Amino acid sequence: MIENRLYKTMYEVCRVINSSLDPTDVLEKIAERVTWAMDAKGCFIRILSRDGKRLKPAAYHGLSKRYALKGEVEVEKSGMDKEVMKGELVTVKDAVSDPRFQYQDEAKEEGLTSLLVAPMTAPDKSVIGVLRVYAKEERDFTEDERNFITAVANLSAIALENARMFRALKRAHELTNAYNYQIFEE
């Protein structure tokens, strides 16, 4: 039954990506749909900072605001995220006891146990963020779920790259128009 939900959600994610160039809107909808599809407690999408040292909150669903806004993740202090930034899919059975997880106390307070973390890989093969799925109970994620989250993470990266390129093109167009206006009006 969950496989049907995963396929339906994959279709919905593709529709969301094609419907908007607003990265915040797209990522929030993806987090919501992933949480539902995987029958999870929540989903959190973090984007890599320009300096490549921190993962900044981008969107979440199913988690408390307190947990979501606890701060950025320093990649060097998170063994789990160091693995993910190398392009690996990471499973954590128990976030509270796994030394790779940076915010163990906060995970315990939030009621988080297992998680699945996928790299958001851009078309140029660089990892630009992570997509995390949290379960409130200890859970073995199926191969279908692992494949699903990998695909959604990569689609999310493509959506972000498309939005960035659109913003750059829009800005270039605005600058060209301003320049042309100055030249031809003088």
Question: Could you report the per-residue pLDDT of 134-182, keeping only the tens digit for each?
Answer: 999 999 999 999 999 999 999 998 888 777 766 666 677 666 666 666 6
Domains of the chain plus CATH, in order, are 2-185 (3.30.450.40)
How far out from the chain centre does Cα 59 lie? 7
Query: What's the Cα-to-Cα distance from 176 to each of 18, 39, 173, 185, rounded to whole Å?
Result: 27, 48, 5, 14
Q: Give the whole-angstrom CA distance, residue 175 versus residue 161.
A: 21
Query: Could you tell me whether strands 42-48 and 73-74 are parallel, antiparallel, or unpaired per DSSP bridges?
Result: unpaired
Residue 121, pLDDT above cutoff 90: yes
Residue 16, pLDDT above cutoff 70: yes
Provide the whole-model pTM: 0.84
Instruction: State the pLDDT at residue 182.
Output: 67
